[in-house]
Amino acid sequence: MLIEIPEVLSSQTLQQCRDLLACAPWADGLITAGTQSAQVKNNWQLPEQTQQCQALRSIISDALSQNALFLSAALPKRIFPPLFNRYEGEHNTFGNHIDNAVRHCTLSGQRVRTDLSATVFLSDPDSYEGGELVIEDTYGQHAVKLAAGDMVLYPGSSLHRVEPVTRGARLASFFWIESMVRETERRRLLFEMDMAILELRNTQGDCTPAINLTGCYHNLLRMWADV
Ligand code: NI
């Protein structure tokens, strides 16, 4: 399941990110690639130890922690500290690959199982040509190119690629989430239930069915969550 989450970053926060990225010391994207993805990865990436990366990480992490839709969809247990990439010029594409199942954060020493992959788009889609994130799932291919500040969440098990950027530059943040609910289908069910309860409460108030369904949601989460 692909979930698009609009306006994860406000326009003010987005500008802060862009200012930091404008003076960032970019490196070859191969710094975090596995041996297989290294053969198809051709982009720029911000080294983790840089001051800009640290500042950008806390901006994205703060935004995520305040986003109810993200928290409901991902049910995060651990979030890999966000990384940042740029597709431009000759370093402009990333061919088909599946992300590594477990990521090791070199700074904290923590391991994160990649139940979900996330991309936050940082460039205005009109400012570059190409650069669609193409994700394959059981329902076929989806080309994703969102407004700056919007995010897409998709199962970490998905085959995906970034199409060549043929004009301009595509900047994005990408990271992975280990969820309290490991199975995609269970997580999807909980998310759909949460959204339906929200709508019920908004239209009917905290009526008895809404209270009972909220109880069912939490009892399912209790049954399935690994914390
Ligand atoms: Ni990937």
Domain boundaries, the chain: 3-179, 184-224
- DSSP letter for 115, please: S
Partners of 119 in the β-ladder = 152, 174
Instruction: Tell me how far the alpha carbon of residue 195 lies from the centroid of ligand 1, in angstroms.
Output: 28
- What is the pLDDT averaged over residues 147-176? 97
Instruction: Tell me how far the alpha carbon of residue 91 lies from the centroid of ligand 1, in angstroms.
Output: 15
Whole-model pTM: value is 0.94
- DSSP letter for 49, please: T
Q: Give the model's confidence band at 144: pLDDT under 50 very low, under 70 low, under 90 confident, else very high.
A: very high
pLDDT score for 209: 95
* Averaged confidence pLDDT in the chain: 95
Give, in degrees to the nearest 5, the angle at Cα 222 between 221 and 226.
90
The correct CATH number of 3-179 out of 3.40.50.10800, 1.10.1610.10, 2.60.40.10, 2.60.120.620 is 2.60.120.620
Q: Give the model's confidence band at 154: pLDDT under 50 very low, under 70 low, under 90 confident, else very high.
A: very high
Instruction: Tell me how far the alpha carbon of residue 89 lies from the centroid of ligand 1, in angstroms.
Output: 20
The percent of residues above 90 in pLDDT, for the chain, comes to 88
The burial class, CB within 10 Å (0-12 / 13-18 / 19+), for 187 is buried
With b for 16 or more beta-carbon neighbours within 10 A and e for fewer, the 148-176 pattern comes to bbbbbbbbbebebbbbebeebbbbbbbbb
Fold held by 184-224: DNA Excision Repair, Uvrb; Chain A (4.10.860)
pLDDT score for 106: 82
Instruction: Tell me how far the alpha carbon of residue 119 lies from the centroid of ligand 1, in angstroms.
Output: 9
Length of the chain measured in residues: 227
Q: Could you tell me the two tokens for 90? A: 């000759």
Instruction: Tell me how far the alpha carbon of residue 160 lies from the centroid of ligand 1, in angstroms.
Output: 6
